[in-house]
Amino acid sequence: MIKPETPENESERLHALKTLQILDTTHEERFDRVTRMAKRIFGVSISLVSLIDQDRQWFKSKQGFEATEMPRDISFCGHAINQDGLFIVPNASKDERFFDNPLVTSAPNIRFYAGYPLKIRGGLNIGTLCLLDEAPREMDEEDQLLFKDLGAIIEQEIRSIQLATLDALTLISNRRGFLNLVDYGFKVCQRNKISMSFLLFDLNKFKAINDQYGHHEGDFVLVKFAQLMIETFRNSDVIGRLGGDEFVAMMTSSDEENTNTILARFEVAIEEANATMNKPYKIEYSVGLVHFQHNTEKTPEEMIQAADAAMYKNKKGI
């Protein structure tokens, strides 16, 4: 068995998946309608909407299958998300990647597999619409076009979720998505009696970059800054773009030592980016940091405002 490779943009991909907030949610008719249709049209035994999490594949919609998740390292869909187009396995028992896979040698005894990578944007695939069957089979050109049409419907439904919670440019949480995730994180901190920290970042001289080099360069800076946040902060941390050139992060189980470690690591990442991106400007920022205990009476909005005040105090010292 050959395990699926990890995409180069795995951190960005996982963050985008997390911010959609659809993992471990109940089934929805808008997805089930498509998997029912796919199962019936193609006459397969199983059809799924599979989302590829860090170490598992989780099924948002499933027809003909009972499990809700399976390990990522044995998944066919883990291979499919590395493709730009359809990933089709006519007979898994004769494919060197899958012939000894437990999903092939035992239930559900997969022979045929077809996966349509579900894209948030080009190169960023969060899962698949997939078909599985116990009998080997081929997909002709007409079947492939029809399958792509069904996959596009699923992508459209995901995009409607994305518009509500993700910043369209940077693909990290927008204000609404960030506050939704923070509300959950805050409850976890209260229940487990752990501390939290809020960090608010503001880009310095950002208007000058837009005015002097154009908005496409300003967009580049915003995307790069978000990417470095994703790569630097922990998977358990929540990050977002509040709007304009303001970014925010919430760290749980945090104290002065580990927040300072993260900030130092982020500073190095920014310095390295400035040294290698060959631009006539540098990415610069100010940051405000505030710590809170689990029993704070402040709301998440008030904690963000406190971090904002700390950031402006820092900015005035530049």
The answer to whether 250 and 238 are in contact (CB under 8 A) is yes
The vertex-104 CA angle with 68 and 50, nearest 5°, equals: 30
- Report which residue type is found at 270: I
Give the single-character DSSP code of 166. B
The vertex-16 CA angle with 12 and 17, nearest 5°, equals: 120
Peptide bond into 71 cis (omega under 30): no
- Helices 29-42 and 141-165 pack at an angle, to 10 degrees, of 170
pLDDT per residue of the chain (318 residues) written in tens, 0 to 9: 999 999 999 988 998 898 888 999 998 999 999 999 999 999 999 999 999 999 999 999 999 999 999 999 999 999 999 999 999 999 999 999 999 999 999 999 999 999 999 998 778 999 999 999 999 999 999 999 999 999 999 999 998 888 888 898 998 899 988 998 888 888 888 888 999 999 999 999 999 999 999 999 999 999 999 999 999 998 888 999 999 999 999 998 888 888 999 999 999 999 999 999 999 999 999 999 999 998 999 999 999 999 999 999 888 765
Cα 296 to the center of its chain, rounded Å: 30
- Measured between alpha carbons, how far is 23 from 134 in angstroms, rounded to an integer? 28
Q: Which domains does the chain have, with CATH numbers?
A: 10-165 (3.30.450.40), 175-316 (3.30.70.270)
Q: Which pLDDT score, from 0 to 100, does residue 281 have?
A: 96
Mind giving me the DSSP string for 281-307?
Answer: S--EEEEEEEEE-TT----HHHHHHHH
- Helices 10-20 and 175-192 pack at an angle, to 10 degrees, of 80
Q: Is 214 helix (H, G, I), strand (E, B) or coil?
A: coil
Residues 6+ apart with CB under 8 A from 42: 131, 143, 147
Give the single-character DSSP code of 238. E
- Which of 159, 149, 160, 148 is CA-nearest to residue 115? 148
Residues 6+ apart with CB under 8 A from 32: 61, 63
- Measured between alpha carbons, how far is 210 from 49 in angstroms, rounded to an integer? 41
Q: Is 280 helix (H, G, I), strand (E, B) or coil?
A: coil
Token reading at 234: 């922990």
- Measured between alpha carbons, how far is 13 from 18 in angstroms, rounded to an integer? 9
Residues 6+ apart with CB under 8 A from 84: 117, 123
Q: Which pLDDT score, from 0 to 100, does residue 161 have?
A: 86
Residues 6+ apart with CB under 8 A from 251: 196, 197, 198, 199, 233, 234, 236, 237, 258, 259, 262
Token reading at 289: 């940091």
Residues 6+ apart with CB under 8 A from 217: 209, 210, 279, 281
Q: Which pLDDT score, from 0 to 100, does residue 133 have?
A: 98
Q: Is 142 helix (H, G, I), strand (E, B) or coil?
A: helix
Token reading at 162: 């994305």
